[in-house]
Amino acid sequence: MRPCLTILVGLLLLCGSLSAQQTFTKAQLQADFAVLQKAYKTLHPGLYKYADSATIDRYFIDCQALLNHDQSLTDAYLSVMQLTAQLKCGHSYPNFYNQEGAVKALFEQDNCLPFQFRLIDNRMLVTHSIDPAVAVGMEVKTINGTPVATIINTMLPLVRADGANNGKRLRLLEISGQGFEYFDVLFPMLYPRGLPAFRLELANLRTGKPLAVTVQGMRHVVRNEQIRKAYTISTDTVATFRWLNPATAILRINTFAAYNKPFNFGKFYEAAATEFGQKSGQNLIIDIRDNEGGDSWNGKQLIRHLITKPIVINEQQNSWAYVCMDSTLNPYILNKWAYQWRYRTDNEFIKSASGQYRSVNERQPKPLDPNYKPIVARVFLLTSATNSSAALQFAAAMKEHKLATLVGQQTGGNQKGITAGALFFIELPNTKIEVDVPLIGMDYAEAAKRPDAGIMPDVYVKPSLLDALNGVDTELVMVQKLIEKHN
């Protein structure tokens, strides 16, 4: 038995012994597993991008073994989470936001830490706190007796990300007030002893003085709301434009997704371009460090302001794993409106040498034309491991077409392509655990040519615990040095 599986089995037994949840029988769990396996093996076009078929088969066998006895919902959820994480697809996981009923209730307990934090070199730095016993800037050394580094290393194999990009996994383990977050979900499942109280060993990074405190857990939504009020943090800021000095402006884009917000990206960019031109700006800093993705068109609209002639952005996301879906999966698809992904015919697709399918009507990418309001400037793009999906694609296009100097850390996502575009939300019949199954990905032959990595910046900036403690924006300072050097 492999180490990762051995650790998880032990944790599952611990969780099960402490849980008062409904118990599911072996037969129920095996029925759920059958649906889970069929969904991913028949629908996922990137299943074998990072591992061969024998390895993928072993992952499913391991999951089936974990579900081969009566157990609680928590145990089953962790087993599913481990399997989907092993597939190394950032869009494949039991989505926190798509769960309902008893599954959703697992995440809505008073057992979350009363503060937010960053992870730098596997060290936990408190960034916002509503408990007076835990000051901002303190380092958390242990939680309920377990070292933070041990906790992080135990959680990492359960976190979604594309390929071997652990930087993305670490960013997802931070608590930043983004709704359901991995640490809030996983810690009570993996380390339930002592909850809802947290016994913390802290260190004052300025003095080196240790401190031991006990704080009470709380619901994540209550904590995040209290932090937003205490620190005056807006939740509706999609993007901002401001001047750092008369020559340099900062365009910060926190997301390319604004489906439920009255925000018009095109008008925002045009207003920024107009102001930049009127004030004779020279340097533009585009900050996407907190941007996980969304609609790729919302990034392309900005690129149109940065080009002087048409360019082609070829994202190579055009392959499916199936033509006719296995009809036995129909009862488990929650997004019933997705008819166009369920009912297709053979004459709509051609089979590639890799065994995937592509539309017979597939068109070459259309050139992206310049906007009539260009931004003429020296452009810098701030990147981080948070950037995946559409944010990865934006960073890739900016680098490929030399539209900016990238400064920061390797992005999340992967150069082997993301698998998304269309998704089925599959609900397992007995536990009611939902899993996201993405449907469109990169052709295996094309992916094989590319490195298993995100987009590397032109200028790498190592995150600094000391800078974070002192409120220094390390990446922005680097850009200012680059501007001064050029001048």
Average pLDDT over residues 5-31: 68
CA–CA dist 303, 255 (Å, integer): 15
Do 463 and 120 form a contact (C-beta atoms < 8 A)? yes
Q: What is the dihedral of CA 347, 350, 356, 359, to 10 degrees?
A: -80
User: What does the mean pLDDT of the chain come to?
Assistant: 94
Whether the per-residue pLDDT at 7 is higher than 60: the answer is no
Residues above pLDDT 70, as percent of the chain? 96
- Please give the pLDDT value at position 20: 65
Q: How confident is the model at residue 1 (pLDDT cuts 50, 70, 90)?
A: very low
**Fold for the domain defined by 239-317+363-413+457-486:** 2-enoyl-CoA Hydratase; Chain A, domain 1 (3.90.226)
Whole-model pTM: value is: 0.92
Do 409 and 463 form a contact (C-beta atoms < 8 A)? yes
Whether the per-residue pLDDT at 244 is higher than 50: the answer is yes
Burial of 97 (0-12, 13-18, 19+ CB in 10 A): exposed
- Per-residue model confidence as pLDDT tens digits over 206-218: 998 999 999 999 9
Domain boundaries, the chain: 3-96, 115-231, 239-317+363-413+457-486
Average pLDDT over residues 308-320: 93
Query: Are 115-231 and 239-317+363-413+457-486 equal in CATH topology?
Result: no
- Per-residue model confidence as pLDDT tens digits over 173-204: 999 998 999 999 999 999 999 999 999 999 99
- Per-residue model confidence as pLDDT tens digits over 331-348: 999 998 888 899 898 899
Pick 170 or 337 by higher pLDDT: 170
State the DSSP string of 264-328: -HHHHHHHHHHHHHHTT--EEEEE-TT---B-THHHHHHHTTT-SS-B-------BBS-SS--GG
Residue 157 Cα to chain centre, angstroms: 14
- At residue 32, the 3 state secondary structure works out as helix
**Among 214, 197, 190, which Cα is nearest to 110's?**
197
Do 437 and 383 form a contact (C-beta atoms < 8 A)? no
Which of these ranges, 7-21, 82-96, 327-341, 382-396, has the smallest mean pLDDT? 7-21
- Please give the pLDDT value at position 361: 85
- Please give the pLDDT value at position 32: 98
Do 349 and 323 form a contact (C-beta atoms < 8 A)? yes
- Please give the pLDDT value at position 363: 77
**Among 74, 70, 62, 71, which Cα is nearest to 99's?**
74
- Per-residue model confidence as pLDDT tens digits over 102-117: 999 999 999 999 999 9
- Per-residue model confidence as pLDDT tens digits over 37-68: 999 999 999 999 999 999 999 999 999 999 99
State the DSSP string of 40-102: HHHH-TTTTSSS-HHHHHHHHHHHHHHTSS-EEHHHHHHHHHHHHHHTT-TT-S--GGG--HH
- Please give the pLDDT value at position 4: 54
- Please give the pLDDT value at position 234: 81
**Fold for the domain defined by 115-231:** Pdz3 Domain (2.30.42)
- Per-residue model confidence as pLDDT tens digits over 35-44: 999 999 999 9
Average pLDDT over residues 370-379: 97
Domain 3-96 sits in CATH at 3.30.750.44
